[in-house]
Structure 1
Amino acid sequence: MDIVTFYVGQGDMAAVRHNGEAIIVDSHYPDCLEGGQAKIEADLSRVLAYHHVAGLVLTGFDADHCHPHGVEMILSNHQPDWVMYPKYYKETDCASEVFRIIDRHVRKRAQTYRPLRRVSVRLDRFDHRILNDLCAQFDFELFSPHMEDCDNSNNSSIVLRVTGIGGKGFSFLITGDTENGRWERINKIFGSYLRSDVLSAPHHGSKSGAHPETILLVEPNTVLISAGVDNQYDHPDPQAVGAYRAVAKHVFATNVEGGVSLLTRRSGGDFETLLAR
């Protein structure tokens, strides 16, 4: 099992691979980087070669996680079996366009041997938390969103643990833009059940998502931060990075050396992350 965190500027896109199966997480797809969208598309295709793309997880409906052009590219080129998104509707042009794209692909594939399945998730009932019918090589455990905390788009982000099945698998906690107010409730409800080997830092390494108790409960070996070089928000926040380093053995960010992608995998009894352009 491994995780490829692509450098896509101030946004998120990752691929998780295990035993020939893969899922894609988020779809930021800027055209302002060196190489533009063509490089992102080529990098994604190279990483997913010889893998069955089981699903696309959209953690939220802001463009830095759910860019319409990125969704279109992924659904057209990689034809996942399903697309997962939070059961929360944000009334923006971006969200509306994403749903139009998904609707079009659902109709297009309706009569094929691989129809596109929608997976809309929210923790209305805790017995819906384990999603065990989506992949052959991954298990999924949902921690958020919950209807009571859907007060803004960030706190409506999907928080999902992806675990590779078998001896070479590990656990990866996907967090979107979830903020500290929501983390307080997640911590209270789930506690040490949040424990994961690798953590995707919430909200691009913002201090608004780096809840100290959450970091202690997750107890990650490795933290991955997806942020843009010289971004306007100064992500990742030094205070947040310090909080991650106080707990995790390894902390990596994409906004170094002019922007790098990250390949994270097991290495003996530890984890290693390789940087690539």
Structure 2
Amino acid sequence: MNKSVSGLLKWSAQIIADQPDLSYQAPALEARLMLEHVIQKNHAWMITNAEEQLSQDTVEHFEALLKQRINGKPLAFILGKQSFWDLELFVEPCTLIPRQDTETLIEAVLEHDFPDKTKVLDLGTGTGAIAIVLAKENPSWEISAVDKIVDAVVLAEKNAVLNKVKIDCHQSDWFSFFSKSNNIRFDLIVANPPYVESNSPYLQQGDLRFEPMSALASGADGLDDIRYIIETAQQYLNDDAFLFLEHGHEQHLRIAEILLDHGYTNIQHRHDYGKKVRVTYAKFRSN
């Protein structure tokens, strides 16, 4: 094996390309990102020093990461970070990896003319991705973020510090943190909850094999958590407040029915970049 920068990149990119089951496969890019992570140099340095010979320790470290990748471990978990929106976020196996589909939810929120001091709740925040982007885009908003997993709350707080925003993070099983207070109300509740059917073969494919099942599956039809959120959110929404939900691309009609059954109005949907319905949102009034 050629142990130069260019030689190692070419060799490893071919190995990645030969793995048809990897869920994200851009061989040259993946190889470069892993090598940058190992040697702590940027792309420009690697171009300029393409023929530099790497030490045996460096090669072995890189090979260990490559082995993890060809065994299916998500690149984000190998690198410990993921780009999302225009941010960099730390990621850990206790949470889902932030994906571009969720940017669709954020875009739908930002298209609305919410006022300054809007009170926002991000349910199941995970890495904090949604809450942090909303805080970046609207510094005057008062944003709370909750997650059932304590490690996820710690991670979201860490990402908020990394991206220099203020969000209030709490450990909470959906709304449980707020259940003892009678006067907590929000103008906007957002959630990317579990929405995959519990027996879906999708759960055994690609990156999902390495992500927490509790953040993915939600009952036989994938809607158990969404039903709960729609029903319970009514206790925590101001009049004319909005509920935004990310969901599977074939669930929007059933979700609209559930929203109607619970008195929500102005139900609308938004398509993702693949032209699939990925977000449903609605307005709430108490009477």
Q: TM-score range by the shorter chain?
A: 0.3 to 0.5
Bigger relative contact order (CA 8 A; separation at least 6): 1
Which structure has greater helix proportion?
2
Which structure has greater strand proportion?
1
Q: TM-score, normalised by structure 2?
A: 0.35
Q: TM-score, normalised by structure 1?
A: 0.36
